Amino acid sequence: MEFIDPALLIYCEDHSSKEDSLLRKITRETQAKVMMPRMLSGHLQGKLLELFTKMQNPKTILEIGTYTGYSGICMARGLGKGGKLITLDINDELETMVRGFFEESGLADKIDYRLGNAMEIIPTLPGPFDMVFIDADKINYSNYYELIIDKMNPGGIILADNVLWSGKILVDKNQAVDKNTQAILDFNTMIQNDPRVENALLPIRDGVMIARKI
Ligand code: SAH
Ligand code: CA
């Protein structure tokens, strides 16, 4: 499902700070060599992540779902002095490529890239976090949220990607839904009902939930 007229999207991209050569290279190589290149954040969302980071000025960001490093590099670019990004992914086949991109970004010293199952790694991270980007397996979105919420500083923001799930969240109450769609529906409902956060669901790309810990 297209959420926005393609011509409007092009206009938006034409009026957003340009992608640099490294981000264009990551996009090119992801499309050429990696499965499911649709998962890349892309120009508009990447710039938005960078700007959010600059506005938030976090000490510590946690990213769940590195993939080929696009979104991680965008957030790392927004970090101030002393800030760091911890980014997790279960797919070790991408490691060499991703470490190469992090080196090329000149920000490798700010990026702590860990391979493994995020459900197992997060409990070992002490926090606190000022910003979290949830973008891994949809089935675990609510679990990730429960693992991080008590480790968020007050005022910390949680961003969760793909919460409109290509529009599949629009289902009738008694319609059967697949597991991933149900997980996203449950996540969105949980955030909406959680008094610990204030939130807005932004209809950007595939939907980004932004929740700020009170
Ligand atoms: N944030 C990236 C895209 C992430 S795609 C960007 O915007 O460019 C989702 C990633 O989550 C994939 O690379 C996948 O390997 C990873 N993933 C899936 N399940 C995971 C798990 N249980 N733990 C850690 N990473 C996981
Ligand atoms: Ca995503």
Fold entry, domain 6-213: Rossmann fold (3.40.50)
Does the pTM surpass 0.95? The reply is yes
From ligand 1's centre to the CA of 173, what distance in Å? 29
Q: Please give the helix or strand (H or E) that residue 159 lies within, else none.
A: strand 152-161
Contact present, 190 and 145 (Cβ < 8 Å)? yes
Cβ 135 under 6 angstroms from ligand 1: yes
Cα–Cα dist 40/42, whole Å: 6
Q: How far apart are CA 113 and CA 28, in angstroms?
A: 22
Axis-axis angle for helices 179-193, 141-148 (nearest 10): 30
Atom 12 of ligand 1 has which residue's CA nearest to it? 67
Ligand 2 centroid vs 128 CA: distance in angstroms?
Answer: 23
Give me the residue label for tokens 């769940």.
64
Q: Does the Cβ of 118 fall within 6 Å of ligand 1?
A: yes
* CA distance linking residue 32 with residue 168, whole number of Å: 28
- Give the pLDDT of the chain (214 residues) as one tens digit per residue: 778 999 999 999 999 999 999 999 999 999 999 999 999 999 999 999 999 999 999 999 999 999 999 999 999 999 999 999 999 999 999 999 999 999 999 999 999 999 999 999 999 999 999 999 999 999 999 999 999 999 999 999 999 999 999 999 999 878 889 999 999 999 999 999 999 999 999 999 999 999 999 9
CA of 161 to the centre of ligand 2 (A): 5
Domain ranges of the chain: 6-213
C-alpha 174 to ligand 1 mean position (Å): 31
Nearest residue (CA) to ligand 1, atom 13:
67
